[in-house]
Amino acid sequence: MTQDIPLNSLGLPKAPADTRVVVAMSGGVDSSAVAAMLAEQGYDVVGVTLQLYDHGAALAKKGACCAGQDIHDARRVAEAMGFPHYVLDYENTFREAVIEEFADAYLAGATPVPCIRCNERVKFKDLLETARDLEADCMATGHYIQRKIGARGPELHCAADANRDQSYFLFSTTPEQLEFLRFPLGHLASKAETRALAAKYGLAVADKPDSQDICFVPNGSYASVIEKLRPGAADPGEIVDLAGNVLGQHSGVIHYTIGQRRGLGIGGLGDPLYVVRLDPDNRRVIVGPKEALSTRIVPVREINWLGDTPFTTQPEWHVSVRIRSTRPPREAILRPLSATEAEVELLTPEEGVSPGQACVFYETGGTRILGGGWIWKGR
């Protein structure tokens, strides 16, 4: 009788040497530590880096990923640990799938999250297919999130370190992708442990700074990137109150986001005013008191559902939701309208809910991510 083959550390019934793992390497300390750790454990590691953009300034930018110096850093890690490394040119794909939509969404008055689209449309789609073409058994990344096996298969869970958790940016991971993906850092208690791993393997990136902001914005100015991509996008217009009274002028809707208070240039009006809505068609920025930002009902579409039963099998789901990456989950009632659309009722109203942001669903009182979708229209 054949004995069951024990599972290796990646949950596969093979010896590490017989297990090919493609590691998505951005050139940062997280993915580098993952690649080095798996290589040291004896896995058949193949490092792959996607060159996503090259803005010139990005070549020397600190804290970026997937361009310039970062590609060289990834290659050096592969050389040091003795595994093959490939660089794939995905600039055109990245521009079409991520950057162009980012520009259009910003011009439409939304506040997009391109990092989610990059994971969804490039890293966990095209790169994952490349991993399969390389006959890999799985693909590993340096994301801080956990993959756990539940009663019905793989589940997505928050990272052990709440300060590093990246669940907001990975809600669109599908069940099929989750079967193939591995996240070896998700259980670590802190980023310090990751840096210690990198130092243990003698990696030059052990003290490399974390990536900051959006990778294709070299100087941190979203508006300058939009103006470059969409000439004329910074046309001036009016700042008006909720009644339509003109309070001032602005230098382009793209310079404003919902919830913004500072930099409006309309001081001396008594109570503080906030951006409560953007009207790009009429080139207007609408401002109002803080209470005008309060939202209870949030429409969501393009839903990716990770629950155990189909999304529409219940009229309501009692969950917790996160409407911005920097905010904690809050209790809500999720009402499906179709397999991909829903209405979210926040039990406690939130301020600054913005179209273009993600609304991510969590198990209340637990760590499991149940999916999420995109906030698609304003208040």
Give the whole-angstrom CA distance, residue 142 versus residue 160: 14
* 28 among annotated binding-site residues: yes
- Taking the C-alpha atoms of residue 147 and residue 126, their distance in angstroms, rounded to an integer, is 21
Q: Is 48 annotated as a binding residue?
A: no
Tell me whether residue 118 is one of the annotated catalytic residues.
yes
Is residue 338 a known part of a binding site?
no
Residue 26, marked binder:
yes
* 53 closest CA partner among 116, 105, 118, 108: 118
Annotated binding residue at 371? Answer: no
d(CA 325, CA 327): 6
Q: Which entry of 65, 66, 115, 118 is annotated as an active-site residue?
A: 118
Q: Residue 25, annotated ligand binder?
A: yes
27 is annotated as contributing to ligand binding = yes
What would the two tokens of residue 245 be?
A: 């009274």
Collect all residues with Cβ–Cβ distance below 8 Å to 195 and sequence separation of at least 6: 29, 33, 206, 207
- The reply to whether 70 sits in an annotated binding site is no
Q: Report residue 173: phi and psi, to 5°.
A: -65, 125
Q: In whole angstroms, what is the distance from residue 126 CA to residue 120 CA?
A: 9
H/E/C letters for each residue in 153-179?
A: EEEEEECCCCCCCCHHHCCCCCHHHHH
Annotated binding site for ATP: 24-31, 50, 142
Catalytic residues: 118, 215
As annotated, the binding site includes 24-31, 50, 142
